[in-house]
Amino acid sequence: MEETYLLNVEGVKKKILHGGRGELPKLHDGSKFTFHFQTLKDDFERTVIDDSREAGVPMEIIVGKMFKLEIWETLLSSMRIGEVAEFWCDAIHTGMYALVSRGMRRIAEGRDPLEGQKHRCGMGNMFDYHSTGYDDLDELQRTPQPLIFIMELFRVEEPSAYKRDTWAMSKEEKMAAVPVLHSEGNRLVLRREFAKAAAKYQEAVICLRNLQAKEKPWEDDWLKLERLVTPLVLNYCQCQLELGEYYEVLEHTTELLQKHKDNAKAYFKRAKAHAAVWNEREAREDFQRVAHLDPSMAAAVKKELKQLGERMRKKHVEDRKRYQGLFQSSQG
């Protein structure tokens, strides 16, 4: 198993270090590789650049999703499950490695991998970076060179066999996921599992926002998606009210009302959040807007205003007693 042989790709050599099992996996668009890797320089010391085992988390690649280092998909496609192989890759395949490594290192450090990156293709970004923030990667970026990749393939999963991250879904998959997530969120609300329900609503919103980003704001397709987003955001806010995350509700309802100034439900949820954090004036203003926009909610508004008034009176009494106590103790 020590012989070196060429893959059917220019500028690549492969050496099997440990044989795998079974046949070569059948791959489809959306299949997921899970593997560990080590990247070395092709120098006398075989200097290690990156090692996924040090980060403690295996690497994952989705087939057909334009991973910046396209050659990795080719390398992994030649491997069986459990196989360990060493690949020598010429500089024609490794020019993007510095950017890939930079992103992986940022993730391992708990930072945003796209921090400071402009929304352009990978090759375009090469010209935006004066420095990757890592000296060894800056060297690779200045002078692309052959690299050695040692890979151990753990598993290959079909698209239907794993929960796909939102970014890895096609447009059709995202649209199909939204009603499912909405329904799951509603079911969890009925069971009063508000944190889990909020996560479902949030995931559905992310799917729709990703699709919206490809449309022109306020045109028909964008508006159709926005109409789906709004009830999901409101459901998410209701869960956050139940969980006591009032400032989260204030943030999301305010953002929603900047686009939809006549949404009575958004004003109602924001009013309840204001009331919960003792913003009496803001709460009263929002409740009054609700009654004006939707007279059918007038009874609910009246009840909330009554409760707000009682809470504020109680708070004023308690505050007065506390201040009197402080004053008396300072006099004594």
pLDDT of 67 strictly over 80: no
Give the list of residues 6+ apart from residue 301 with CB closer than 8 angstroms, or none.
268, 287, 288, 290, 291
Return the CATH architecture of domain 171-310. Alpha Horseshoe (1.25)
Average pLDDT score, the chain: 84
pLDDT, tens only, 133-142: 888 888 888 8
Q: What's the rounded mean pLDDT across residues 301-307?
A: 92
Distances from the Cα of 70 to the Cα of 89, 223, 254, angstroms: 12, 36, 42
| d(C-alpha 158, C-alpha 160), whole Å | 5
- Give me the pLDDT at residue 3, please: 56
CATH 3.40.50.720, applies to 4-157: no
pLDDT, tens only, 119-152: 334 434 434 445 778 888 888 888 889 999 999 9
Minimum mean pLDDT range among 14-28, 72-86, 130-144, 290-304: 130-144
Look at the block and give the residue holding tokens 């956050």.
240
**Is 62 in contact with 168 (CB distance < 8 Å)?**
yes
- Give me the pLDDT at residue 201, please: 93
pLDDT, tens only, 10-23: 999 999 999 899 88
Domains 4-157 and 171-310 share a fold: no
Task: Fill in the DSSP letter of residue 24.
Answer: P
With a threshold of 0.75, does the pTM exceed it? no
- SS3 state of residue 213: coil
Q: Where are the domains of the chain?
A: 4-157, 171-310
**Helix orientation angle between 171-190 and 194-212, rounded to the nearest 10 degrees:** 160
For residue 148, list its beta bridge partners. 40, 88
Of the ranges 64-73, 131-140, 195-204, which is most confident? 195-204
pLDDT, tens only, 84-100: 999 999 999 998 898 88
Q: What's the rounded mean pLDDT across residues 261-285?
A: 93
Distance of CA 143 to the CA centre of its chain: 33
Distance of CA 31 to the CA centre of its chain: 20
